[in-house]
Amino acid sequence: MFLVRNILILLLTGLTVPVSYAGLTIEITEGRESALPLAIVPFIDSGAPVTIRDVVNADLERSGYFQMMPESHMPARPGSAQEVNFSDWQSLNQNYLVVGKVAKLGDLYEVQFQLFDVYKSEQLLGYRMTSSAADLRRTAHHISDLIFEKLTGKKGAFSGRIAYITTDSPRLHRLQVADADGFNPQTIASSSEPLMSPSWSPDGKRIAYVSFEHKAAAIYIQTLATGQRERVAEFRGINGAPAWSPDGGRLALTLSKDGNPDIYVMDLASRSLAKITRNAAIDTEPTWSPDGSTLVFTSDRGGKPQLYAVPSQGGTEKRLTFSGDYNAAASFSPDGQNIAMVHGSGSSYRIGIMDMATRTINVLTAGPSDESPSFAPNGSMILYASKKGRTGFLSAISIDGKIQKSLVFEGGEVREPAWSP
């Protein structure tokens, strides 16, 4: 784990950890003891290239909230409400049941599903939607979101995407984007020089990141749909840690163009810069509050890295964290009520979550080398990077610590994850 000063040395030197380029798989390592029994019957399918039921079943199983019924244990394969014998499913202690169909309509597919409360013998949810072949996985994730929200009262995050950095031998660096379940990885940028600090725009259409492709740090913004990108910062010294404002019109970033690493805000339309912090210490890793009024950043001005807050227009800075030797890399929850961070004590670095009202920190992970926390768009999970020995991987943990998932690259490593809005 890097201290703040070493984080900035990393930006200057391009030091990275060797990792491999491979597919991402997700393994649930801990779930809720009170997981709800749920059966998703194989959809009646007319040969779609994606098996909708399998995607939805995997999404909901990995959430940790549901105990999914194996297909081999199902008493029947109904495709509609009329075909459901609720007593069969009640006898097997199933709380909820999903049935569905996929039909080909020219170049499109019509997908329909129904969610039932087994014990009440009534429908809770029913949708019909059309999809191209290319979007069938996204449609399946959308179905997972709808079911998850109906049964838990919380928005799903299965339709989201994650960005992360990998490095192939011989040191080809890639910025990649994949679905939240690890499928459909796409290389957004690649370079023989380091790439780092991916940050999503609020609309999920663009990513800002740092590249050393010209042997010095520069910040780029890239449009995902077209691949078009522009360089927005290449000042003398450090250009690092870009973070989008909630309105998408500004970037907070770390620059040392005036000699000392400070927090700046760039207006993207005019490219004008406002200097937010002015301190002899190292200020870095800015993040915006959801309402855009505040920036939280990491600074070693107190002797050790801690989190500070400052109005996003500039003003009086206030220290937020006092517990532990090290608190850095803040990430706001979507509702602004919590901040995830790297919380260090001694040589152990773990992911903690701070209640903004009480300033209490709850440490969620075991460490000893956890970093780069990023909230899911529904605020229920935190994605982060970790290491065991020389192996780096991603994990996700629920904000109450009861659900844990590992996101593993086959034979490789990964770092700096960022969950899309």
Burial of 155 (0-12, 13-18, 19+ CB in 10 A): middle
Last-in-domain residue among 152, 182, 209: 152
Q: What is the number of alpha carbons within 13 Å of residue 198 lying toward its C-beta?
A: 35
Residue 29 lies in a domain: no
Cis peptide before 75 (omega within 30 of 0): no
pTM assigned to the model: 0.89
Q: What is the number of alpha carbons within 13 Å of residue 344 lying toward its C-beta?
A: 23
Find the domain containing 244 and state its range.
4-23+160-419
What pLDDT is attached to residue 5? Answer: 37
Task: Tell me: do 77 and 209 sit in the same domain.
Answer: no
Q: Give dist(CA 405, CA 383) in Å, integer.
A: 9
Task: Tell me: do 270 and 336 sit in the same domain.
Answer: yes
What pLDDT is attached to residue 13? Answer: 31
Task: Tell me: do 46 and 79 sit in the same domain.
Answer: yes
Q: What is the CATH number of the domain that holds 227?
A: 2.120.10.30
Per residue in 306-356, pLDDT (tens digit) is: 999 999 999 999 999 999 999 999 999 999 999 999 999 888 999 999 999
Task: Tell me: do 78 and 198 sit in the same domain.
Answer: no
Q: What is the CATH number of the domain that holds 137?
A: 3.40.50.10070
What pLDDT is attached to residue 127? Answer: 97
Task: Tell me: do 148 and 172 sit in the same domain.
Answer: no
Indicate the number of domains in the chain.
2
Which residues of the chain register pLDDT less than 50?
Answer: 1-22, 411
Task: Tell me: do 96 and 174 sit in the same domain.
Answer: no
Burial of 153 (0-12, 13-18, 19+ CB in 10 A): exposed
Burial of 36 (0-12, 13-18, 19+ CB in 10 A): middle
